[in-house]
Every structure is written in C-alpha cells, then in structure tokens.
Amino acid sequence: MDLKLDKLPNFEGRRGPLLFVVMDGVGFGKQDESDAVYLANTPTLDKLLNTPLVTKLKAHGPAVGLPSEDDMGNSEVGHNAIGAGRIFAQGAKLVNHSISAGEIFKTENWANVVKHGKNGGTVHLMGLLSDGNVHSHMNHIFALVNELAKEKVPKVRMHVLADGRDVGEKSVLTYINPTEELLKKISEEKGFDYKIASGGGRMITTMDRYDADWSIVERGWKAHVLGEGRHFKSAAEAIQTMYDENPAITDQYLESFVITDDSDKPVGTIEDGDVVIFWNFRGDRAIEISKAFEAENFDKFDRVKHPKVFYVGMMEYDGDLHIPSNYLVQPPEIDRPINEYLCAEGVTSFALSETQKFGHMTYFWNGNRSGYINKDLEKYIEIPSDRIEFDKAPRMKADEITDKTIELLKSGKYKFGRINYPNGDMVGHTGVVAAAIAAVEAVDQGLAKLLPVIDELDGIAVITADHGNADEMFTVKNGKKDVKTAHTLNPVPFIIYDPNYSGEYKMADIKNPGLTNITGTLINLLGYKNVEDYDQSLIEIL
C-alpha cells in the first residue's frame, strides 16, 4: 500500500521542528499528600498547564484497547496507541478472548504442549503471578493449568515471579496460596504431580528488559532450569521466611528460591524433552528469557546446560525478530503506524530515551516492530540506564536525555523528534514518595531547558504522558496507608507549546479524548491532514 499524507490548506506547521515529549508515569492525581506530581516543585509544568492549548486524556481501559475501566494503562499499550492512532485490542483483552472462545486450546502449539506433556515431558509454566493485568493475569494461568489437567497431562511445574509493582507491594501470598491449593487439588483428585518449583521477585529474577541487566535473567535461569538457589519446602514458606528476615523487603525484590523434596532435591529442574510456557502476555520483560531458551549461540551468561525444550510464549513478544518461535495467542496486528506515513512523506525524525523506555519510543511506537522503518530518515538513540534501584538515583538519565535532545534539535536535521522521560514511572514504581517527587522535578527541569530551544528554532513542543504512576503513591483504606507501586487510572496531561501560535487552530471538542487522539494532532501540527481512519485530532484547524 502506498501511504500518503495530504497538506493542510490553512496551516503548514512551523518553520522549526515538532518535539513530542512523554513524561512517563505523570498523571493528574488527587492533589494531596499521595500525589508526588502535585507535591513536586514544577514551575514549568505549572505554567504550561495554565495555557489555552491544554486538555486531559484517558490512558487506561478501553481507551487504549484494554478490557474495562478497571484496567490500568501501561507504557506498552500507551505507546502502541499513540503510534497507531487507533484503538487495537491489547494484551489481556486478546488473551481473554482467546481463552473464553477456546481458540488458544485449538492451536497447533497447544497440541504440541499436550503431546510433549503426555509423552514423558514435564510441562513448566513460568511468569508473573498476579492479577495486575499489565504483564499477566491469574485467570489466564489457572485456565492453562486446568486445561492441562483436563487433557490428562500428568506432570506440571510452575515457576512463579512475584509482582509488587502492578499490585500491592507485599501481596504475593494472596496469589501463591490459591495457586498451591489448585495444584494440590488437581494432584490429589486426579493422581497427577502438579507443583510450584521455583520463583523470585520480578526485579531480581528473570524479568529484565531492553538488555538492561542480564544477571536478572541469569538468576532466573539458575533457579528455574538448574535448580540453584535458596531451598524451601514450599513457595509460601519461601515468601514468609524472606518477609520475616527483612520486614522492609517488597515482593519485586524477593530473591530467587527453589522448592525441594524431602531429600532436599529440587522438584522441578527443566530437562531435555520438557515444555516451557512463558505465560506473560506483555513482551518487554519476556524477550530476554525467551532468547535464553531459544538461542543456540548465546553469550549473555553461562547457561551451564541448554535443555532441548518446546518453548512457547503466551504471545509473540517481538514481531520482527519472531521471539519466541512459538506462541499461543496472535498479537494485535497494528498496521500503518504514524512513522510509516512520516517516512513516506520524507519527514526526518529522531527517537530518544534511556534504556528503560527506549523500546517504547521505537518498537512499541512502530506497532510492535523492531528496527527502523527508513534508516535514511530516522535516528534512534538509546542512553544506557544505570543498574541501580531507581529511588536511589531518581534523576535517572533525564539530564542526558535533555542535552542530547537539544543537540539533535539544533542540528537542523530533524523535523520531528520524540523522547521519553522514564522518571515518573520507574521511580513511581518504587513506592518512595520523596524519590518520586525528585523524579518529577527532574523532568520539569528538563522541560525548562527544552522550551527555550523550541522558541529559538520556531518549533512546537507537545507534552503528555502514557499513563499515571507518580500521581498516586499510596492509598488509604480504613485509616491504613498502603504503598502503591502500580500505575493509576488517572488522566494524563496533553499540552501544546507553540510560541508563535496566533489562533490558526483551537482545541477540538472531543468527548473523553484518549491517547489515540494524539496521533492525528501530531500530523496536523506538522502541516498535514489527519489520516482518514485515525482517531480525531485534538485540534481543529481554523
């Protein structure tokens, strides 16, 4: 298909560049002591919010393709939505449908899972154990386990990763206990052998992303595959022991553990002929462990052994690199993202963030595709993230992102740029209010340096967020304060900073605007008509 954008008759954009800024995790909260965005000293953002070209956007639930208003948004679906300009069914919604319709159990890959499991192989289920609905959901896991029992697969092992980010920071036992009960019930009633075999906290074990820290994956490999780690008789015992040893520890930072039998032998190492299902539906924290299982030539750590298993993901985590080779649910087919149109028009652009959100400004923005759309027109820059708990360094790489953005803008090479400040999200996930305040302030200071450059170059800046996080750092229920490390359901800001604005357009009257409305707006601000089937632009050209 030949893609084309038509010029607007009454507005050709500005002489300078259009800069799109994502303040990751910065939403509109209650403006109380739980709201780190409100508590932060943000003179630049405060001033911007009091200008005419401002609105609030929905960044969760059906507005970004998730099942219900109770489903918090996340960076993946948020950047998918902005890049796509339309709402596509995402993650949990796709899996929900596949399971409820029975489609997942009619696939060739599921048939292979069952075949291996009934021919002597153990079926290993691995992933994030929670109902956060960001990376995974308990309902999906239980559906898989129950179907394996129905298919009379005799031996199943689970390798469970504690959440503590998208759900309560010390809530994993509320998921471990019913899981162990289900496995025990199946084992007793059907005479099968279903057990939890290993686990750990998601930020310590298995779930690294963007090649930030492969030692996390290595710890998972040692626990899940080799059976190396602290020994316990049950997952519940492991969790409670670590809670007792360190009352300040939270689920995401629990160390790796291994379940052993009465002779202290691991109950579930992964061997040749086994099956491994990684049950997360979200891709970013599933890609590295998938590579560790599938790659023949692997140099990230010493695997010690590389068992020949049938490895299958809940979904395809990278559509270009086809990771993993086998998966159970088809990913959303996001065609014609904005970058394809911009490249077709010859618009030069750059994408920039630090490691933690680099993939969001590239892979997710481009509709779950790796690599450049047109390398002659685009430049992607990744600033390596520090390997440190983010509350210990809440500025993260905001200063480096700002400085590099200014350099790129002033080079005169790029008509469009997009950047992501991860601070509000990554530091918000730690639950440390003071650090989150400092993180939001770092982003505001970055904006304060960027806007004069927009003035100087006769450009436009569009500032928004992909979801909330730092705007709600704790909740209060029955007088008890509970730390909140998950994303929020709050709306996010949308701001157009156009120093040469003279009334050529106005904010459009849209009921319940969301992230997908941003895309047509960016196209308009570059001087083009919106794509016909993209969601309505947030501005109306006069």
In angstroms, the first-to-last Cα distance of the chain is: 31
Q: Which two tokens stand for residue 365?
A: 């923005």
Please enumerate in sequence order all residues whose Cβ is within 8 A of that of 182, keeping only pairs 6 or more positions apart, or say none: 142, 145, 146, 194
CA 14 to each of CA 17, 444, 530: distance values in angstroms, whole numbers, following the listed order: 7, 24, 17
Please, are residues 471 and 37 in contact by the beta-carbon 8 Å criterion?
A: yes
Strand 54-57 and strand 492-497: the pairing is antiparallel
Catalytic site residues? 75
- C-alpha–C-alpha distance, residues 385 and 358, integer Å: 10
Helix%, strand%, coil% for the chain, nearest 5? 35, 20, 45
Could you tell me where the DSSP H helices lie in 108-213?
Answer: 108-118, 138-150, 173-190
Token pair for 224: 């899940």
Which of 178-184's residues contact partners 24+ apart within 8 Å by CB, and which partners?
A: 178/138, 179/129, 179/138, 179/141, 179/142, 179/235, 180/234, 180/235, 180/236, 182/142, 182/145, 182/146, 183/145, 183/156, 183/158
Q: Which residues touch 404 (CB under 8 Å, ≥6 apart)? A: 352, 381, 383
Q: Which of 195, 183, 205, 187 is nearest to 127 (CA)?
A: 205
What the block records as the tokens of 208 is 């690294």
Task: For residue 330, give Cα distances in angstroms to 60, 150, 163, 313.
Answer: 22, 23, 25, 11
Contact between 268 and 124 (Cβ < 8 Å): yes
Strand, coil or helix: what is 477? strand
Alpha helix segments (H runs only) across 49-132: 75-84, 91-100, 108-118
Burial of 393 (0-12, 13-18, 19+ CB in 10 A): middle
Beta bridge partners of 266: 260
Return phi, psi of residue 292, to 5°: -60, -35
